Amino acid sequence: MNFKYVSDVKKHLTEKIIPFWENLRDDEFGGYFGFMDKETLTVDKKAVKGCILHSRILWFFSNAYTLLKDKTLLDNADHTYEFIKDKCLDPENGGIFWALTYDGRVEEDLKHTYNQAFCIYALSSYYEASGKKEALDKAYELFKLIETVCRDKDGYLEAFTRDFKPADNEKLSENGVMAERTMNTLLHVFEAYTELYRVDKNPEVGDKLREIFDIFKEKMYNPVLHRQEVFFDMDYNTLIDLHSYGHDIETSWLLDRGLKVLNDPSYEEKIAPIVVKLAEKIYETAFDGRSIANECERGKVDETRIWWVQAEAVLGFLNAYERTGDEKFLKASESEWKYIEEYIVDKRPGGEWFADVDKSGNPTSDHPIVEPWKCPYHNGRMCFEIIRRAQ
């Protein structure tokens, strides 16, 4: 299937996003530099190196190589893998740390389930790109860790100390609540397991995907409001009236991808209606014809246009078009890409994407171009998915 923005997206990937991240490679201490200032595009070579950032960079270069077959991309993936293997993973207690100093010492030793999941996601893609069984083995070590330590009988837990004692979930709690379970962590455990199952088809991983589908349907999804709830206590009671537009449009296509990878008709029947409802609700509620807002908390909409939310909207609307055939979704996806090109992409030499803009498209904050959460994952994945779906 051909979409009219495919050539523009491929050019953007190869001429903007890939070169930007290649230029952040740290050949002295390993990994990639962890911070770039928004105003001057200055790299801080002594900034903290987030482990989530590095998992996402490994995932990015692995997928870029798998798609484009450029050996330089595999070399960047190899470079990232060695840094994660040697510095980010804890050889004593298992799991991946939260953050390192610029020269590879442990800066923050929190073990978060979300972070473990992203490393599985990255290692699975790197295994596909490189063929290194060691990477797959390490992904399974983290899978077993999550399933034995980072969950209970009802689902997945959040944050732990270095030796996996329970800790406060400050990293993935916001909006004035301290959550014991989050939709966001579950979503990215699901995403990681989807990738692991895709590259290895382990039945045990497939069974965990089915369990997570059930949690989404029975605990996270609100069938009255056609949205996901976000923050929960241990019994899955929602803690706040919050509609996260970006997470819902992202979830709509990630659930659909999981359905395709799992290929279980019984779950297609259960989950496919939710996929469509989530996308429909975002189209009706959050899309203004060009872009989507951030979220709605207690009835008040945050109109900020966040970089990753726009990238996920391109994909979520495209996926909804492919599933339903409704042209409104294709037009919405195309409009989102035009908005990104015009307002989110930093057109300065040496820039990438702004972190956020206001409703009119003006950069409004001092949020950096690169920091532990600002990475080539959402925008890179948007490019990969569009190119692959057009093939």
Side chain identity at residue 241, one-letter code: D
d(CA 342, CA 293): 16
pLDDT of residue 2: 67
376's CB contacts (< 8 A; 6+ apart) are: 17, 20, 21, 56, 57, 60, 352
Residues in the chain: 391
d(CA 16, CA 19): 6
pLDDT of residue 249: 98
pLDDT of residue 364: 83
* Confidence (pTM): 0.98
d(CA 386, CA 383): 5
pLDDT of residue 3: 74
CA 58, 317, 61: angle at the middle one, nearest 5? 10
Per-residue pLDDT of the chain (391 residues; tens, 9 = 90+): 667 899 999 999 999 999 999 999 999 999 999 999 999 999 999 999 999 999 999 999 999 999 999 999 999 999 999 999 999 999 999 999 999 999 999 999 999 999 999 999 999 999 999 999 999 999 999 999 999 999 999 999 999 999 999 999 999 998 999 999 999 999 999 999 999 999 999 999 999 999 999 999 999 999 999 999 999 999 999 999 999 999 999 999 999 999 999 999 999 999 999 999 999 999 999 999 999 999 999 999 999 999 999 999 999 999 999 999 999 999 999 999 999 999 999 999 999 999 999 988 998 878 999 999 999 999 999 999 999 999 8
DSSP string, 182-218: EHHHHHHHHHHHHHHHHHH--HHHHHHHHHHHHHIII
d(CA 244, CA 172): 14
Q: List residues bridging with 353 in a β-sheet.
A: 345
d(CA 67, CA 203): 26
Q: Give the burial class of 300: count Cβ atoms within 10 A of its Cβ; 0-12 exposed, 13-18 middle, 19 or more buried.
A: exposed
Q: State the virtual CA torsion across 176, 180, 181, 185 in degrees, nearest 10.
A: 80
Domains within the chain, CATH numbers bracketed: 6-390 (1.50.10.10)
pLDDT of residue 4: 83
